[in-house]
């Protein structure tokens, strides 16, 4: 089967490579910043950034489901909870924290797949409804009596933050920061590859036209429940990392509010955009704090107003906005026949495929502004 | 058998709450084709308005009618101000705005009236009907009000011009527009009616569950469950579905060991998922078939 260049970006415009070089520069600068950060800022900020990255991973999971496959979920707090509890229970059984991540991922993949099996018959608003019910029911399920030996009931479970291994000169927060980043990098790479693969194209086809996709021989139910599982896996790994970072799990940390937060992060970052999820993670963590600073009593209202404004002003999320601005910036000099300002910045050609890994393009995002 | 009957009756009494909420959910779904996740908070806010009016000394029924009128106007205003600009936007944007509304109303109510639990008066008294401890007077009154609302809606949609216009606008906006119906205002009217029904539901529910900003989230879930069970396209189905959910919940709590009170919400989850799997249109809903 010939490979169509469906998801790739290169064929889009003659200025694409210039845009790519800009992005490469930004990414290398970003890497330096990211590596140095925990040594410059306070521990608490390091911890917060770690959390933002963790949320970003969870949102990435949601994005694989919504952005790539077009399914909704308002219930990913449930998978986040399963991941967190798996990690907490395993760590209390003296299992090394490194092993909790694959276990949490596996547990969530299985439960996501199983929830996805019935859910695949549902579309749009109905799936939102079913997952809404899941999110609202989750805290109750976690408190239930006959699981109390495992889950600690209302009390929850405490865990101890791991120290840096091999005698590295890092404190626990700094180590967890780098550990989380490494896990995130791996997961982002996998997600980008998945989207680019044959499977990814099948998923996009299902999103865009399920009937046509199934006529092309794609097993729609299988793919839909598989991606539900994979999405849950991502969110579950994030949940496990979250449990380790916060050192505590309890049923009331995984309410509908968390599901909303993840969903909002997805929309704010940009549906269908993989790098956008990083913005989403930061939004989820920091904006409620900002809203609280504006007015303590009305924090929720301020948050709501910010959300409505976002939907009005940038319906494609931060990723859409960045793409739009970048498009404006790059097109102008190229149209004037100018030498591209970054062409000589020494980007090797193999940077470009790496760029492609980073993102789907906007017109594939499935959400069009009006 | 006595226990069974008792539980069924008690279930119907609780089901009245869910039927109320389910009716409001279906109304808005009919008008705008979206499930309104802020419906519960809208009802909660309206109920606080009524509480405030009563606190200021208004007689119950004056406060009741004033609240319904205020809620209707607020519903129309919400549609015109918040939702008209994103008309035609994807479902995702709508859900985010619903969630934003939920957040604003919840936090606003907490800010204005604080989070302390308040009692809300019942117009029907609190004694028992028929002397036994089966159905309280308030429960009976609530069920009667729900059924009256349903009848009124039925007559409105079947036998008035404006009801017909609303149905046309929902069924086929483009054709309705060509026939001279102002579809945008029909949608706004639908919002207003849904808000008014939500207000009545809130005022009926509040004496049972007490008034506080977070009172509605679980009731909304049950309202959804009732609406889904009855069929999202059928107001009558939603009311019946609401009663059924109340009965199912009570029977499950009695006869399934371990389910009990503490898994109430999980039962709603199971009902929703089961209905959506086996009969996605609900018991009384139309099956929506789309041409490709």
Domain of residue A306: give its range. 41-361
Strand, coil or helix: what is A158?
A: strand
Residue A143 lies in a domain: yes
Report the length, in residues, of chain A: 370
Across the interface, of A72, A307, A315, the residue whose CB is closest to B89 is A315
Residue A74 lies in a domain: yes
Q: What is the DSSP string of A187-220?
A: HHHHHHHHHHSHHHHHHHHHHH-HHHHHHTT--H
pLDDT band at A16 (very low <50, low <70, confident <90, very high): low
**pLDDT computed for residue A53 by the predictor:** 87
- Residues paired with residue B118 on neighbouring β-strands, in sequence order: B211
Is residue A125 less than 8 Å (CB to CB) from chain B? yes
B71 φ, ψ to 5°? -65, -40
Shortest CA distance from A118: residue in chain B: B277
Interface predicted TM-score (ipTM) of this complex, two decimals: 0.77
Residue A223 lies in a domain: yes
| B258 interaction partners in chain A (CB closer than 8 Å) | 144-146
Beta strands, E only, chain B: none
**pLDDT computed for residue B288 by the predictor:** 57
- Give CATH for domain B2-128+137-278: 1.10.3470
Could you read off the pLDDT of B48-79 as tens digits, one per residue?
Answer: 999 999 888 888 889 999 999 999 999 999 88
Across the interface, of A136, A144, A311, the residue whose CB is closest to B263 is A144
Is residue A221 less than 8 Å (CB to CB) from chain B? no
Nearest to B147 by CA among B271, B239, B26: B239
Of the listed ranges A256-265, A356-365, B127-136, B236-245, the least confidently predicted one is A356-365
Residue A275 lies in a domain: yes
For residue B32, the distance in angstroms to the closest alpha carbon of chain A comes to 12
- Residues paired with residue B128 on neighbouring β-strands, in sequence order: B136
| Residues A301, B292: C-beta atoms closer than 8 Å | no
A38, A174 in Cβ contact below 8 A?
Answer: yes
Number of domains in chain A: 1
A-interface mutation test, from B85, B98, B107, most A Cβ less than 10 A away: B107
Give the torsion sign (CA, A309, A314, A315, A319).
negative
**For chain B, domain boundaries:** 2-128+137-278
**pLDDT computed for residue A119 by the predictor:** 67
Across the interface, of A129, A299, A369, the residue whose CB is closest to B228 is A129
Could you read off the pLDDT of A327-349 as tens digits, one per residue?
Answer: 877 765 544 444 344 333 333 33
Q: What is the mean pLDDT of residues A40-57?
A: 82
Residue A137 lies in a domain: yes
What's the CATH number where A320 sits?
1.10.3470
Is residue A141 less than 8 Å (CB to CB) from chain B? yes
CB pairs < 8 Å spanning A and B: 140
Shortest CA distance from A367: residue in chain B: B90
Strand, coil or helix: what is B281?
A: coil
State if pTM tops 0.80.
no
When comparing pLDDT for B179 and A126, which is higher? B179
Residue A16 lies in a domain: no
When comparing pLDDT for B248 and A11, which is higher? B248
Residue A368 lies in a domain: no
Burial class (CB in 10 A: 0-12, 13-18, 19+), A361: middle
Q: What is the mean pLDDT of residues B77-96?
A: 81
Shortest CA distance from A72: residue in chain B: B92
**pLDDT computed for residue B92 by the predictor:** 77
Across the interface, of A121, A132, A267, the residue whose CB is closest to B96 is A267
Looking at residue B135, what DSSP letter applies? S
Is residue A291 less than 8 Å (CB to CB) from chain B? no
Shortest CA distance from B107: residue in chain A: A300
Across the interface, of A129, A264, A298, the residue whose CB is closest to B99 is A264
The mean of the pLDDT values for chain A is: 74
């Amino acid at each position: 089967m010939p490979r169509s260049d469906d998801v790739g970006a290169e064929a889009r415009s003659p200025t694409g490579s210039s845009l790519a070089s800009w992005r490469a520069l930004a990414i290398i600068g970003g890497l330096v910043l990211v590596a140095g950060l925990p040594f410059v800022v306070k521990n608490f900020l390091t911890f917060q950034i770690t959390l933002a990255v963790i949320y970003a991973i969870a949102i990435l999971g949601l994005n694989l489901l919504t952005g790539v496959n077009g399914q909704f979920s308002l219930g990913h707090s449930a998978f986040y909870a399963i991941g967190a509890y798996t990690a907490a229970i395993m760590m209390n059984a003296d299992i090394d924290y490194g092993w909790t991540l694959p276990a949490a991922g596996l547990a969530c993949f299985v439960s996501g797949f199983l929830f996805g099996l019935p859910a695949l018959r549902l579309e749009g608003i109905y799936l939102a409804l079913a997952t809404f019910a899941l999110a609202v029911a989750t805290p109750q399920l976690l408190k239930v009596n006959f699981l109390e030996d495992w889950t600690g009931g209302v009390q929850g479970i405490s865990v101890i933050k791991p120290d840096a291994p091999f005698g590295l000169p890092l404190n626990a927060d700094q180590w967890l920061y780098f550990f989380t980043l490494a896990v995130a990098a791996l997961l982002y790479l996998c997600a980008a590859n998945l989207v680019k693969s044959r499977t990814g194209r099948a998923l996009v086809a299902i999103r865009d036209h399920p009937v046509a996709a199934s006529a092309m021989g794609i097993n729609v139910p299988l793919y839909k429940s598989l991606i539900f599982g994979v999405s849950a896996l991502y969110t579950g790994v994030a949940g496990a990392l979250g449990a380790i970072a916060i050192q505590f799990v309890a049923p009331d940390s995984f309410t509908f509010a968390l599901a909303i937060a993840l969903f909002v992060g997805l929309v704010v970052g940009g549906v269908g955009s993989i790098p956008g999820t990083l913005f989403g993670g930061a939004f989820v963590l920091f904006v409620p704090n900002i809203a609280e600073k504006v007015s303590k009593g009305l924090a929720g209202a301020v948050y709501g107003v910010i959300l409505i404004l976002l939907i009005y002003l940038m319906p494609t999320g931060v990723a859409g906005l960045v793409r739009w601005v970048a498009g404006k910036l790059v097109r102008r000099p190229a149209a004037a026949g100018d030498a591209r300002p970054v062409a000589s910045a020494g980007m090797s050609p193999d940077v470009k495929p790496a760029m492609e890994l980073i993102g789907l393009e906007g017109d594939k995002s499935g959400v069009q502004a009006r | 058998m006595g226990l069974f009957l008792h539980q069924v009756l008690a279930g119907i009494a609780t089901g009245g709450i869910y039927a109320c909420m389910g009716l409001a959910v279906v109304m808005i779904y009919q008008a705008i084709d979206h499930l309104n996740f802020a419906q519960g908070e809208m009802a909660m806010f309206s109920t606080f308005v009524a509480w405030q009016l009563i606190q200021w000394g208004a007689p119950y029924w004056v406060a009741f009618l004033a609240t319904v009128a205020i809620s209707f106007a607020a519903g129309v205003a919400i549609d015109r101000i918040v939702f008209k600009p994103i008309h035609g936007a994807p479902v995702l944007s709508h859900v985010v705005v619903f969630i934003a509304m939920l957040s604003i109303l919840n936090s606003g109510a907490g800010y204005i009236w604080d989070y302390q639990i308040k009692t809300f008066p019942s117009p029907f008294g609190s004694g028992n009907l028929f002397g036994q401890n089966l159905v309280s007077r308030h429960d009976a009154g609530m069920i009667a009000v729900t059924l009256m609302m349903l009848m009124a809606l039925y007559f409105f949609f079947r036998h008035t011009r404006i009801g017909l216009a609303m149905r046309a606008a929902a069924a086929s906006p483009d054709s309705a527009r060509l026939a001279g119906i102002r579809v945008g205002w029909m949608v706004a009217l639908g919002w207003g009616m849904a808000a008014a029904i939500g207000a009545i539901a809130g005022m009926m529910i509040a004496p049972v569950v007490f008034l506080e900003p977070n009172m509605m989230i679980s009731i909304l879930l049950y309202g959804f469950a009732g609406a889904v069970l009855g069929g999202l396209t059928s107001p009558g189905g939603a009311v019946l579905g609401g009663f059924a959910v109340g009965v199912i919940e009570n029977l499950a709590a009695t006869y399934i060991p371990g389910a009990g009170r503490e898994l109430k919400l999980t039962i709603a989850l199971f009902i929703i998922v089961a209905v959506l799997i086996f009969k996605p249109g609900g018991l009384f809903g139309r099956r929506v078939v789309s041409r490709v």
